[in-house]
Amino acid sequence: MSVVTQNEMLMPQLSDSMEEGTILAWLVAAGAEVAAGDDLLEIETDKANMTVQAEGSGILEILAAEGSTLAVGTPIARFGDGTAAPPPAAAEDRGEPSRPARTSAAIDRDAVGRATPLARRIARIHAVDLSTLTGSGIGGRITKADVGAAAGIAPPPSPERRAVENPPPSPAAEAAKVDGVKGETEIAEPTRLQALVARRMAEAKATVPHFQVETEVRMDSAIALRSQLKEVAGEGPVPSFNDFIVRAAALALREHPKANGSYRDGAFELHQRVNVGIAVAADEALVVPTIVDADRKSLGEIARESRRLAERVRSGAVTPPELAGGTFTVSNLGMFGMTAIYPVVNVPQAAILGVGMTRQVLLRGAGGEIEDAALMTLTLSCDHRILYGADAARFLAEIRRRLESPLLVAF
């Protein structure tokens, strides 16, 4: 088949810090006709796995194979206007019974549990019933190759491929599975995303001179105000304490521009817009969607936006623009009962705020009396190249002031 090339699609930059991406799967077969905006491929970035849409229309020519890791800007596909290969014969023409289309609601739960996240996504796109498949992965896991074969967009996994995806234990792994003081040890390889996150965190710790400042915040007034908001919220979302923190931080960032900046190439970058990232725990990694212009949004708007973004992260539907442009990050582990967290700076940002749980304690009041109090620990991890100790202390104190006088946050 000859194809007249009309346009190329390059490896996109799906996050501010992305330098390269790994092609996990093509969701459309080579030679098929695609339209701009169709789901085309799955790419692994430094932040998450992304479904990327076609940027052009025409006959698809794939330039980069699955598993390829390529720099941003490298050609990965072309869209031509030549004569495309004939579509696969219908099931009736091949003498095979047709498979009824299934929606995700009809997929068997056990099969869903045995399928990888990427396999589930391809199954939804191509209406493949996972309950009819036998997995070729480790322990019978249903892989993208299994779904692709069932959908007719990829050949079935060969015995050689099955051996690669489900290899016999290596001598090192066998040696690790010894009964001793530690008991039996199982070796688990990280996913590409987990390995990439580990590498970036190690680089951040090695290249960024971190330091932390910490403070205790009395949350009694914020708790009382939230109770009042809950009574009048109606059907709208009640702002969480994390929403209070995001807004307090956003307002404080306007007054402390270095905390809203970056250190890059030996210079300070002071960003005009305040875009607060919120760390959300996904299946395999920590994903940080961004609330853009958080300082200009009301508490209610932040509550709605944060819930929408968290749901999109957990469902795998978050898009590259929703992960881009962050100037500051809030990471909250209070819901897991952690009293404090010391996060690693999300480079190239200047700082990240770690949030612990709100806990009830006894304090001595101004008059010497013992009183109940609700305390929360905030820890600010900073890049010492742009934020100094006094700068960080003043910024964190401003966040504390607004949280302890929550009307400054609510209105």
Q: Which residues are the active-site residues? A: 384
CA distances 38 to 51, 58, 65, Å, are 10, 11, 19
Distance, CA of 164 to CA of 315 (rounded, Å): 29
Cα–Cα distance between 299 and 407 in angstroms, integer? Answer: 11
Q: Residue 265 — left, alpha, or beta (φ > 0 → left; ψ -120 to 50 → alpha)?
A: left
Q: What angle do CA 49, 143, 166 make, to 5 degrees?
A: 115
CB atoms near residue 363 (< 10 Å) = 12
CA distance linking residue 344 with residue 61, whole number of Å? 41
For 77, residues 6+ apart whose C-beta sits below 8 A from its C-beta are 8, 9, 40, 41, 54, 60, 61, 62, 63, 64
CA 258 – CA 16 distance, rounded (Å): 19
Quote the tokens at residue 92: 């009736």
Q: What is the spatial order of strands in the sheet that 49-53 belongs to?
A: 49-53, 39-44, 20-26, 69-71
Listed residue (94, 9, 84) closest to 52, CA to CA:
9
Which two tokens mark 395? 């910024």
Helix (H, G, I), strand (E, B) or coil at 400: helix
